C-alpha cells in the first residue's frame, strides 16, 4: 500500500492497552450494547502468523509463496470453509509476469446475505523503506504487512467452525498487493501498480455476487506493536456507516483505545478497487502512527524488521475481537 497523502512524523508514542472487558458500553444514542460472539484467541492468531513467516518471505513467483498458498488453502479447508483459488498472470510495474493466486474461503457459501473480510498475503520484495540503504533490495518477511491480516481471518474461520453464525462470510486473501514501485526506482508511477490481486478480483466479481455483500472489511498490518487504527479517509468517503459500526464494536469489547475516533490519512490499498470497481462498501483497518519518524505506517513498514519479534498479541486481540463483535452483531 502507499500513502495518498503524507504527514510529518516526530516521535513514537506507545499505545495504552485496555483489556477486553465484558462490561456494558453506552453508545451516543443512549442504547446499550454488550459483547457477543466467541472469544478471539490471540495466541492462536499469533501461531498462524508465525506459520506463514516460517515459509520465509512470500514474494511473488517464489517457492515460499507457492508453499504458503497451499498451506492457507488447506488451513481454511480444515475449518470447513469452501475454498477456491483465482489464478492469474498479472504484470508488475517493471513488466514482470506475476503468478498470482487470490484465495477465497467461504463460510456458508449457500447463504446469499454475506460479509466480506479480506487481507493481502504476499510479501514486499524490497525493504525499500529500511533505514539502512544496504537492505533496500532485500525481501521483507512481512509478519505484520501481510501475515497478520491473514492470521486474524484464519482464527475467525476456526471460531466459526465451532460457533455458528447465520450470515455467510467470504475470507479473501489478495495476492500481488505489494509489488508497487520501490522508492529507489525511477519507474513512472501510473497509479495502478499496487493492489494488483484485488484489482483482478474486483474486475471479475459478478455484479450479483457483489450485491450480496452487506459490506467489506480489509485487514492490513493488524498485529504491530503500538498500533492504533485511525479512521482512514477513503473508508470514510465510501463507507462511513461501516467505519462507525466497526469503531463502535471496538468500544463495546473494550478496545476503544486501539480505535480512536480520529481521521487518519488516505491509503491506496486493496479496499480501493473493491469500492470503485466491485461497488462493495469496504473499509480499511490499517494503523496510523502520526508521530513515527520512520513511517506513519509504523517503524517496521517495508523494512527487514517486519518480523515476529515486532508482532503484538494485544493488537491481534483488539482487531480480532472487534471483528467478531461486528459479525455477531449483524
Per-residue pLDDT, 10 = 32
Regions in the chain scoring below 50 on pLDDT: 5-30
Phi, psi of 106 (to 5 degrees): -115, 125
Number of domains in the chain: 1
Per-residue pLDDT, 4 = 55
Per-residue pLDDT, 163 = 81
Q: What is the dihedral of CA 128, 93, 265, 288, to 10 degrees?
A: -40
Q: Note the pTM of the prediction, 2 decimals.
A: 0.92
Domain extent, residue 57, equals 2-329
CATH number assigned to the domain comprising residue 258: 3.40.630.10
In a 13 Å sphere around the CA of 106, the CA atoms on its Cβ side amount to 14
Q: What is the pLDDT of residues 180-226, one digit of tens each?
A: 999 999 999 888 899 999 999 999 999 999 999 999 999 999 999 99
CA distance 270 to 177: 7
| DSSP letter for each residue of 183-220 | TT------S-SS-HHHHHHHHTS-HHHHHTEEEEEEE-
CA distance 14 to 289: 10
Per-residue pLDDT, 24 = 30
Amino acid at each position: 500500500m502507499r500513502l495518498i497523502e503524507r504527514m510529518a512524523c516526530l516521535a513514537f508514542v506507545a499505545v495504552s492497552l485496555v483489556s477486553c472487558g465484558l462490561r456494558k458500553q453506552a453508545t451516543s444514542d443512549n442504547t446499550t450494547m454488550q459483547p457477543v460472539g466467541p472469544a478471539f484467541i490471540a495466541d492462536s492468531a499469533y501461531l498462524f502468523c508465525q506459520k506463514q513467516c516460517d515459509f520465509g518471505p512470500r514474494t511473488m513467483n517464489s517457492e515460499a509463496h507457492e508453499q504458503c498458498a497451499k498451506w492457507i488453502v488447506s488451513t481454511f479447508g480444515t475449518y470447513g470453509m469452501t475454498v477456491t483459488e483465482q489464478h492469474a498472470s498479472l504484470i508488475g510495474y517493471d513488466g514482470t509476469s506475476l503468478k498470482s493466486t487470490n484465495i477465497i474461503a467461504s463460510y456458508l457459501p449457500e447463504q446469499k446475505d454475506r460479509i466480506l473480510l479480506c487481507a493481502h498475503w504476499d510479501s514486499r520484495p524490497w525493504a525499500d523503506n529500511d533505514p539502512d540503504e544496504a537492505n533496500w533490495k532485500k525481501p521483507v518477511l512481512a509478519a505484520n504487512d501481510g501475515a497478520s491480516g491473514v492470521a486474524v481471518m484464519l482464527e475467525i474461520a476456526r471460531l466459526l467452525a465451532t460457533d455458528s453464525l447465520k450470515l455467510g462470510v467470504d475470507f479473501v486473501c489478495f495476492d500481488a498487493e505489494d509489488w508497487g514501485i520501490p522508492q529507489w526506482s525511477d519507474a513512472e508511477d501510473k497509479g495502478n501498480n499496487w493492489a494488483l490481486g484485488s484489482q483482478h478480483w474486483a474486475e471479475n466479481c459478478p455484479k450479483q455476487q457483489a450485491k450480496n455483500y452487506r459490506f467489506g472489511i480489509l485487514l492490513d498490518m493488524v498485529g504491530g506493536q503500538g498500533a492504533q487504527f485511525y479512521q482512514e479517509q477513503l473508508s470514510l468517503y465510501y463507507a462511513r456507516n461501516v467505519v462507525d459500526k466497526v469503531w463502535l464494536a471496538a468500544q463495546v469489547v473494550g478496545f476503544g483505545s486501539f480505535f480512536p475516533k480520529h481521521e487518519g490519512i488516505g491509503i491506496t490499498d486493496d479496499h480501493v478497487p473493491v469500492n470503485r470497481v466491485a461497488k462493495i462498501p469496504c473499509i480499511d483497518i490499517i494503523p496510523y502512527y502520526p508521530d513515527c519518524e520512520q513511517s506513519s505506517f509504523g517503524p517496521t513498514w517495508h523494512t527487514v524488521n517486519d518480523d515476529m519479534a515486532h508482532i503484538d498479541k494485544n493488537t491481534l486481540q483488539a482487531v480480532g475481537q472487534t471483528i467478531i463483535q461486528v459479525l455477531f452483531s449483524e
